Structure formats: C-alpha cells, structure tokens
Amino acid sequence: MTATTPTDPPAIGRDRQGDILLEARGITKRFGDILANDDVSIALRAGEIHALLGENGAGKSTLVKILYGALEPNGGTLHWQGREVTIASPAEARKLGIGMVFQHFSLFEALTVAENIALALPRGTAMRELSARIREVSRDYGLTLDPQAIVADLPVGIRQRIEIVRCLLQEPQLIIMDEPTSVLTPQEADQLFLTLERLTLEGCAILYISHRLEEVKRICHHATVMRHGKVISECDPARETAASLARMMVGSAVHDLKRGPRPDAGAVRLELRGLSAPADGPFSVAIDTVDLQVRGGEVVAIAGIAGNGQGELFDLVSGERLSSSGSVQIDGQAAGRSGITARRRAGAAFVPEERLGHGAVPGLRLSENIVLTRHSTGDGLVRGGFVDTDRAGELEKRIKNNFGVRMSHDDAEARALSGGNLQKFVIGRELDRQPGVLVVNQPTWGVDAGAAALIRQELIDLSRQGSAVLVISQDLDEIFEIADRIAVISRGHLSEAEPAETMTRERIGLLMGGMEDRQGGATHAA
C-alpha cells in the first residue's frame, strides 16, 4: 500500500513544488445528525491537478461547496495563499480567484451563452466586448462557442463547454471541476485534458472530482481520498492502479465482475425492427429506423453521449410511447402498440434513467412503489382491486435483503433513500421478477463503486440465466465491463451492435460523434 495517512507528510509522488494556494484545515460540516465532513484537511497547490476521490455520500460535494462558499462549515479554517479567509458566498470565492465547473449544469436554459457567462462575471462587463472575449477564449482553448446561441438549444457537450469557458473567463487561480467528463466523448475529454494541462502550466490549481479512475490516473498529480466524511488517504494516482484507488474509496476490495462464459446464442427475446419516431418537441431527438436484436443470455449495451436519443429510445422500447405494431417485439410477439403494463405481462421489465420521480414515486413507501410496477405481473399484489400490503411488504423485505438496500427505517419513503440505495431498489425490484427481457437506462448513474459493481454483476447474472438484457449507458468503462455486444446511438441513429471484443474506445468515440454517419451520408450524396 503506497498510500499514507493524511497526518504523514506526502512523502510519495512526484515532487509537490507549487505554492499552496488554498488550504482547508479541519473542516467540519454537520447536516442534522450526519457528519458530512469530519475534520477534513486538504491543500491545493498551484500548477497541480488534485483529484478528490470518494464514493457517493463520502462528503466530496460538501467539501467542494464549502471551498466555493456555497456552504458554511461548522468548524475548521480556510487559508488562501497563507492568509486565513472566510468564503461566505460564491461571489467571494470568485473574487479570491476560485472558479467552479458544476456537475449538474448551473446554466440558465432560457438565456444565451453570453448572458449565462455575463452572470458569473463582475458587473459592468459590456455585452458586446464579452461576446468577443468569449469567442477569443473559446478559440484559444479549442472550446468553440457561439455567444448568441440559446442554451436550451444546445447539446450537453456544448453546455459543458459553456461552464468551462465561463470559469476560464473569470481568470481563476483555482478551478474546481465536478465530474467534467461525464457528458463528453472520449475525443472531447482529450481536448479538455489538453486545456487542463495548459492551465496548470500557466500556474492554475485544479481540484478534479471524477469517478473515472483511469482518467484520474492519467491526468492528476495528486489525489485525496474521502470516505464517510473523512480524508482516508492521499496518494499519487499515477503510482496506483484503478483497483487500488477503488479499494481506498470503498474501504474493501471491489470484486471484479464474474462474467462467466457467454452462452451460445439463445433465441431473440427483444427485437427492434425499423423502429422510428419523430422528435417530440425541439429538445427531443427523432429515432431513425433502429434495428436491434437482443438474444437470451447476452447483455447488449447502447453507448452514446447524453441527449442523442437514449431517453426517446427507452420510451419506445418500454411502451411509454407507442410505435407501429411490429417495430418492438418481445419474445416474438409484436408489442409496438402495447402499453407498459402489457409489455411487462409479456415478460419484460424496464428501469428508466431518472430513479426519483420516474422510477419511483418520491412520496410513496418502497412497498407501494413495488406495487406500481408489479401489480399485474403475477405476484399476487392486487386481489379483486385491493392491494395486498402484507405481500408487498414481504417483497420489499426480500428486495432490501437481496440487494443490500440501506435505509434509516423500515419501508421508508422513496425520497428518503440516498441515490445509490434507491437505484439498487429500483433495479432490484425488476430483477427480483426474473424478467425475460430487461431494459435499463443508466443502471449506475451517480452510484458509488461498490453498489455499481453489485448492480452490474446482477445484470450479467440475469443474462446468463437466459434473459435478454439491454443496457443504455454513457459510461464506457461500465459498457466494456458488462456488455457482450455494443451499439452506439448518435442523433437518434443506432449503429449495428458489434461484439465487445472487437470494439475499441476510439471507434465508439467516432460513432458517438456520428463520424461514420457523415461518411455514409457523403457516399450517399456522391
């Protein structure tokens, strides 16, 4: 183990030479009974990309919000260039020279790019000048932007650029980035890494939060690992392996997934045949003649950048939106015109991306949420119009135990569960049925490493029992871990599913960018 405890001087790693820009000492933050940050200390140096690692709920976001002035610590001190400071608001943080690129975009959809950026800059910035500066900076860093575009019209990759350019225009000395690459193609991410490198050469400090450990190993000079609100260790990520980093985060070894041999091709259990649908409004994507077969025994994954039709495709497959009769077939039966319940009865199960509000009703207890998707799938939950609450309670206990769903009290309301636990529950609810066809959108979105490994293992196990599993995901690591075949969705068009062994990240990246499409289009035109 090369990690040291935070009290030891960081003896390992490349020389940490930069001056300490921002130092937090003994930061404590309490929410009710929960200690979100417990005596956390971190020192960020100029010219260094500093990774902040930890599972969901480890206290990373709390710490970052404190550093950015959005939260007030209950204890501890902040030191900016050796001077003790209080950062009472984000505006004060910006005045010191701290910029932040948010994970959940903090953009205003109804406003233009220039207006969004103007809001983060000091008063008195003339709009006309600003547009020119935006063009200049975005060109300099290879992050092209149109200042007059309205954010609502822009895809997520571009929105991430706005966040970054907005941050750069503040000319910060410290940039905090929360999961900046989660919506970027591999190529776009590479571009971002070049930008970051350039910034560090200019003397900028960067605090980098990411769940993607390979990425952290590649670009970060130093890492602080948090668990349960405490700093567990510091290390040089380049000298660690992804597995050793994950072990520090989780506190125990994360088991490698057991894939087992892929069974011989089973029967086609889910088939999409020429599935098309027009865009459902300006922010939605048209689905363009999607053909896909998922056989029993395999996991097929659909990769793609957010906003390329994943949600629309999921709606069509699950029956939230209807299509022509034969375009969706479950176990050989035409289901395109059947609703969700009919498709569930045919043996399919669906887990949408948004777990709270779509996958589960926030104000209902878990047992009630079970009834909502399983009322007519032969579980005996509804008898003569009455809900069998005892039976629902039994199921709730079974799912809770089998999937390790943790909650403060029995049969809690869905909204009381943490994101990872609720995700375990909504996936467990469907897996518990042993469905013949399972369609999952973003199975481990925002779920920590331990829970993600469990969910992925369950998906593989289900397929190996003869079910067809279709996973829509933006996480390439996840896709390569679980998928037997991979297809890529780009602007509503699905590439042919190819065996995972022959797919490379580069190729997926090109398909995500619609490169193949364009070439195809060119030949058509010629």
Partner 1 sequence: MGMFEAILLTVITAATPLLLAAIGELVVERSGVLNLGVEGMMILGAVMGFAAAQATGSPYAGALCAMLAGMTLALLFGFLTIHLVANQVATGLALTLLGLGLAGMIGEAFVGRPGVRLQAIDIPVLSDLPVVGRILFGQDLLVYISLALVAAVTYVLFHTRVGLVIRAVGDNHGSAHALGVSVRKVRYLAVLFGGACAGLAGGYLSLAYTPQWIEGMTAGRGWIALALVVFATWRPLRLLAGAYLFGAVGIMQFHAQAHGFGIPSQFLSALPYAATIAVLVIISRNRILTRINTPACLGRPFVPDR
Where does this chain bind partner 1 (CB under 8 A)?
69-72, 89-92, 94, 100, 102, 105-111, 115, 118-120, 123, 150, 152-153, 281-283
CA distances from 484 to 51, 135, 263, 499 (A): 32, 43, 11, 6
Q: What is the closest distance, in whole angstroms, from the C-beta atom of residue 205 to partner 1 in the complex?
A: 20
Nearer to partner 1, 105 or 193 (CB): 105
Nearer to partner 1, 100 or 399 (CB): 100
Nearer to partner 1, 132 or 265 (CB): 132
Q: What is the closest distance, in whole angstroms, from the C-beta atom of residue 75 to partner 1 in the complex?
A: 15
Nearer to partner 1, 34 or 119 (CB): 119
Nearest C-alpha neighbor of 317 from the set 472, 171, 493, 192 = 472
Q: What is the closest distance, in whole angstroms, from the C-beta atom of residue 102 to partner 1 in the complex?
A: 7
Q: Give the C-alpha separation, 245 to 217, whole Å.
A: 9
Question: Given the DSSP bridges, would you call strands 485-490 and 498-499 parallel, antiparallel or unpaired?
Answer: antiparallel
Q: What is the closest distance, in whole angstroms, from the C-beta atom of residue 492 to partner 1 in the complex?
A: 17
Nearer to partner 1, 110 or 267 (CB): 110
Nearer to partner 1, 161 or 295 (CB): 161
Q: What is the closest distance, in whole angstroms, from the C-beta atom of residue 118 to partner 1 in the complex?
A: 6
Enter the tokens of residue 469: 């599993």
Q: Give the C-alpha separation, 467 to 473, whole Å.
A: 19
Strand, coil or helix: what is 11? coil
- Is residue 332 within 8 Å of residue 268, measured between CB atoms? yes
Our CA angle for 118, 121, 125, nearest 5°, is 70
Nearer to partner 1, 100 or 472 (CB): 100
- Residue 22: φ, ψ to 5°: -130, 130
CA distances from 321 to 187, 294, 441 (A): 33, 20, 15
Nearer to partner 1, 112 or 173 (CB): 112
Q: What is the closest distance, in whole angstroms, from the C-beta atom of residue 36 to partner 1 in the complex?
A: 11
Cβ of 373: how many Cβ atoms within 10 Å?
Answer: 22
Nearer to partner 1, 282 or 384 (CB): 282
Enter the tokens of residue 449: 């490493």
- Is residue 304 within 8 Å of residue 490, measured between CB atoms? yes
Nearer to partner 1, 64 or 272 (CB): 64
Nearer to partner 1, 71 or 192 (CB): 71
Q: What is the closest distance, in whole angstroms, from the C-beta atom of residue 159 to partner 1 in the complex?
A: 12
- Is residue 318 within 8 Å of residue 330, measured between CB atoms? no
Strand, coil or helix: what is 208? strand
Q: Please state the length of the chain.
A: 526
Q: What is the closest distance, in whole angstroms, from the C-beta atom of residue 114 to partner 1 in the complex?
A: 10
Strand, coil or helix: what is 37? strand
Q: What is the closest distance, in whole angstroms, from the C-beta atom of residue 172 to partner 1 in the complex?
A: 14
The residue assigned the tokens 């889910």 is: 270
Burial of 73 (0-12, 13-18, 19+ CB in 10 A): buried
Question: Given the DSSP bridges, would you call strands 328-330 and 268-277 parallel, antiparallel or unpaired?
Answer: antiparallel
Q: What is the closest distance, in whole angstroms, from the C-beta atom of residue 110 to partner 1 in the complex?
A: 5
- Is residue 385 within 8 Å of residue 375, measured between CB atoms? no
Q: What is the closest distance, in whole angstroms, from the C-beta atom of residue 309 to partner 1 in the complex?
A: 17
Nearest C-alpha neighbor of 372 from the set 394, 322, 399, 381 = 381
